[in-house]
Each structure stands twice: as structure tokens, then as C-alpha cells.
Amino acid sequence: MLCHTLGIDTWEVIEAAATKPFGFMPFFPGPGIGGHCIPLDPHYLSWKARMHGFEARFISLAEEVNSRMPEHVVDLVTIGLNQHRKAVNGAKILIMGVAYKRDIDDMRESPALGIIEQLRKLGADVSFHDPYVAEIHLEASGDRMRGTELSNEVVSNADCVVIVTDHRNIDYGRLTENAKLVVDTRNATRSLVDERYTGKIIRL
């Protein structure tokens, strides 16, 4: 989020840091955290620490930042659509991947759910494709959504495609070729350095 504010390419910074010959461990940004462990278990540790008079502020800060990432993704979608002279309200948005991480069908605490809820609240017409997940349940609205089959037509009809989960069995080159706008939260399009995609891809 800081890199976005400063106009710096986050992934370029990580690649530059990776040139350090020792002592480097990469951590990659994403649309938020999911699963059963990371979103929940640190709070048990924080609670236990408070029982002993210690405030684990870093855990609380990390949770605060991570919980805001779906909102940041929605902001990127809004910015991208505005650049294409399109409002979020009424826009057709295709979410690519709703599992909380690649190549699994686990939906627990997936950031995709919050992103979908927020976009729908703004009036967007949202659909999703996930090769591992056929249907999702949105707790806030109580609605159920069934996934859509992926085709060139489905992609080209969307005003924006948002890559939330980077499943390996998706052809991101073909996806980007047919899309009007791509918001890539996983750097799945990193190999696409074609000038044809300038202004078409927004990366986290």
C-alpha cells in the first residue's frame, strides 16, 4: 500500500532485494490472508500475552493491515475502471480464484469473499471463476453464487478481471489477451512485458 502511494512497483522492489547474496527471505503481498491459522491463531497468542500484562502490538498491527487489503484491492479496481472511463456501479467484474491460496478448494477466511461483497455493495455485477470451487456463500448478504465457466467471451465481456488466487492451471497470457482490464493481486502476469498490455494490467 505504501509502494502504491509512492508510485513504486512493489514486485520490482522485491526483485531488487532478492539480488542480495545472503540473508534474504522474500515475502510477497496479496489481496489479504485466509485459511484457518494465520487470520485467527495470532489472536490467541495476543490474548495470552495480555493475560501476562504484555501488549503484542505488532500482531494487532499486522491484523489491521491484512484486514484492509480487500478494501485496497477494491480501490485498485475503482482506479482502473476510472482510467477506462467506467464506473464501478454497473461494471461487470470477473473474480479469478476464490480459494484462499492457489491450487486448493479451501474457502476459509478467503479475502475473495470480502472483495466480492464490497464490489457488489458498490453496484458492480460480479461473477467468479475458480477451477476448484463451484459455489460460494456470502455471509453478509446470505447469497449463494455459482462459478462461471471460463471462456474468451466471458473474459472479454468483463469490464475488469481481478486475479485474487493464482491457480497454476489458468492461462494468464490468454486471459490478459482477451481482458479489457486486469487487476493482478498475485503478480500472475509478471511474464507479460508486452507493450500491448500497457495500461491494461494493474498490479498490487
Catalytically annotated residues = 37
In the block, cell 500472475 appears at 188
Backbone angles phi, psi at 157, to 5 degrees: -80, -15
- Beta strands in the chain, from DSSP E residues, in sequence order: 92-96, 125-129, 135-137, 144-146, 160-163, 182-184, 201-203
DSSP label at residue 195: G
Helix axes of 111-121 and 57-83: crossing angle, nearest 10 degrees: 50
Short-list 54, 30, 34, CA closest to 162:
30
96 Cα distance to chain centroid: 9
CA–CA separation, 185 and 102 (whole Å): 12
Counting beta carbons within 10 angstroms of the beta carbon of residue 51, is it exposed (0 to 12), middle (13 to 18) or buried (19 or more)? exposed
C-beta contacts of 38-43 below 8 A and 24+ residues apart: 39/63, 39/66, 39/109, 40/109
